[in-house]
Amino acid sequence: MQKFKEYLKNTQHMVYESLIHAFLKKKTTHAYLISGTIGSPVLELAEFMAQSFVCSNKDENHMACEECDECNKIKNNSYIDYIFYKGEDLKRDNVDNIQREFNKSAVEKANIKVYVIHLIEKAPISSLNKLLKFLEEPSSDIIAIFTTYSMMSVLPTIVSRCQIINLRQFSQKELINAMLEVNADFEDAKLLAVISNDLEKNVKLVKSEEYKTAKEITKNCLNYMLTKPDYLIFYMLNQGLARLEEIKQFDLYLDMLQACFFAAMYYKASKEESYFFKDEIEKIATSNIDIYGCIMAILTAKQEMISNANKSLVYDKLFICLAGGDNSGKRSS
């Protein structure tokens, strides 16, 4: 299995070189903000940096080996001097917990404490204001690493206290060519290039059984929307959903659906054919399906999944909408 630093070296060379300089020359700072487009490996980079601060078997560039006990503990979130929170879960009490735990002496032998907040733009303002006070009094043995998919949504006062690491956004041509090099079909390469900007992940996913299954279920879902909308809910709740949960690819299914409806909206406006799900998208664009309503239902489902809402209710609302059973996705008369 390829190490993450190899991925950085091959696809994010400027970031890789800047990290080498920082760790090798011991010019690290107390707070970092990693920014990338949706689908880019901002969390993976945050974890790798945390590993590099505590690794007991660093390479010649003083970066993580990704294999030792310390590196594995960071990956498994079991390293004592490491705290991880998702932005949407960061409550004021959690900030108090970070301050309380990190005011104590380090337990692990690296003598460095690291905390990561993933997608900090989703954190409540009250929690961020409290966190700011902690950031304003940096300690040499405490490292903060934040990630974001939307730099413009991060509080300027947070941004100003961090060293920014920008992950390069790949062009669709680069993404597609990388997948074509592993003999992927152009349709699949185009679809994944629309969905995700993570080159390495796309190359691995495009030939996988998980991808094929998610694509098959998405295709079936679109066809039932067009021909048997009343059967769509039964199909998804009794067949499609179970298969998606088995391969842990419900998010990919939502991404595929979203890409299809955006393509249908674009076709409706420009008559330009899609490179994926061509027949289904053309039929949706020329039908009376509420395309915008379906897009909003998918975006709502994504947000509710992030917020740990009741999954069954999320599924029910989404499938009812796609079947045209509520005002969000109804067929216009």
Q: In this structure, are 32 and 122 located in the same domain?
A: yes
Q: Is 156 exposed, middle or buried (0-12, 13-18, 19+ CB in 10 A)?
A: exposed
Look at residue 332 and tell me whether its pLDDT is greater than 80.
no
CB atoms within 10 A of CB 270: 8
| Joined tokens for residue 68 | 């030792």
Closest Cα partner for 50 from 147, 116, 2? 116
- Do both 143 and 18 map to the same domain? yes
CA distance 203 to 199: 6
Clarify whether residues 104 and 127 are in a common domain: yes
Same domain, 47 and 140: yes
Q: What is the mean pLDDT of residues 267-285?
A: 92
Residue 20 within a domain: yes
Among 179, 199, 219, the domain-final residue is 199
Are 180 and 258 within one domain? no
Tell me, what's the pLDDT at 140? 83
Residues 111 and 224 in one domain: no
| pLDDT of amino acid 197 | 85
Report pLDDT for 106.
Answer: 87
On whether residue 328 sits in a domain, the answer given is no
Give the chain's length.
333
Is 256 found in the same domain as 136?
no
Residue 332 is assigned to a structural domain of this protein = no
Q: Kindly state the average pLDDT of the residues 233-255.
A: 93
Residue 34 located in a structural domain: yes
* CATH code of the domain covering residue 148: 3.40.50.300
Higher pLDDT, 310 or 176: 176
Residue 296 lies in a domain: yes
Over residues 189-201, mean pLDDT: 90
More confident position, 30 or 302? 30
Q: Alpha-carbon distance 15 to 40, whole Å?
A: 13
Which pLDDT value is given to residue 161? 93
User: In the predicted model, what is the mean pLDDT of the chain?
Assistant: 91
Give the integer Cα–Cα distance in Å for 90 and 33: 16
What does the pLDDT look like over 40-66, one tens digit per residue?
Answer: 899 999 999 999 999 999 999 999 999
Judge if 178 and 67 occupy the same domain: no
Same domain, 152 and 112: yes
190, 144: one domain:
no
Whether 96 maps to a domain, the answer reads yes
Task: Report residue 305's pLDDT band, with 50, 70 and 90 as the boundaries.
Answer: confident
Residue 328 has pLDDT above 60, yes or no: no
Q: What tens digit of pLDDT does each residue of 75-124 get?
A: 999 999 999 999 989 999 999 999 998 888 889 989 999 999 999 998 99
Q: What pLDDT, on a 0 to 100 scale, did the predictor assign at position 10?
A: 86
Residue 333: per-residue pLDDT: 39
Q: Are residues 14 and 139 in the same domain?
A: yes
For residue 240, what is the DSSP state?
I
Residue 266 lies inside a defined structural domain of this protein: yes
Domain tally for the chain?
3
Higher per-residue confidence, 211 vs 303: 211
Q: Residue 330: inside a domain, yes or no?
A: no
* 156 in the same domain as 35: yes
What is the domain extent for residue 146? 4-166
DSSP bridge partners of 147: 34
